[in-house]
Amino acid sequence: MLGPFSLRSAFRTLAVQRSRPVVHSYVVRRQFSVTPQRFAVEPEADFIKNIKHTEFFKKVADKPEVLKALSDLAALVKDMGIDISSKTPPSNKMMFQLATNRKFYTAVRRVTAQLEEAGVDLKAANAIDEIMELSKEISKKDS
């Protein structure tokens, strides 16, 4: 029959099994899936193409420095992760990041200096109205 030694080892084995339950490993099988097709997408409209019909553009059309400065500013904002043509405004955090970014500050100063040299008064009410109309037209084209 069983001696006390074998009985003791049997109880130890049971105690160890209860303290560390056996984990059954299940074989995970991959599900069959189909990758969605990618369809052609029109490239995003260029910033200059969006403002060609405005009075503002007519004032600066013969000044390539202004157009270059505006394009550079739009590209910088896009590189920073802000979609200019989006209907939703950037978050407060993103606006703070823009305000504290040295490159953005320099680009805005360059644009305002170029616009002042071109004779565009940004403090005039009609300039602000044109910019607001431009943003409305961009959002209409997106929808």
Q: What separation in angstroms does the CA of 93 have from each of 53, 89, 97, 103? A: 33, 11, 6, 17
Please, what sign has the CA dihedral across residues 35, 37, 40, 43? negative
Roughly how many angstroms between the first and final C-alpha of the chain, as a whole number? 87
Pairwise pLDDT comparison (40 vs 75), residue with the higher score: 75
Backbone angles phi, psi at 27, to 5 degrees: -80, 120
Model pLDDT, residue 133: 66
Instruction: Render 72-100 in DSSP notation, one character per residue.
Output: HHHHHHHHTT--TT-SSPPPHHHHHHHHH
Residue 88, sorted as left (phi over 0), alpha (psi -120 to 50) or beta, turns out to be beta
Whether the CB-CB separation of 122 and 112 falls below 8 Å is answered with yes
> What pTM did the predictor assign?
0.52
Higher pLDDT, 137 or 128: 128
pLDDT at 140 over 70: no
Residue 2's Cα: distance from chain center in Å? 73
58-117 pLDDT tens trace: 777 788 888 888 888 888 888 888 877 777 888 888 888 888 999 999 998 998 898 888
Per-domain residue ranges of the chain: 47-142
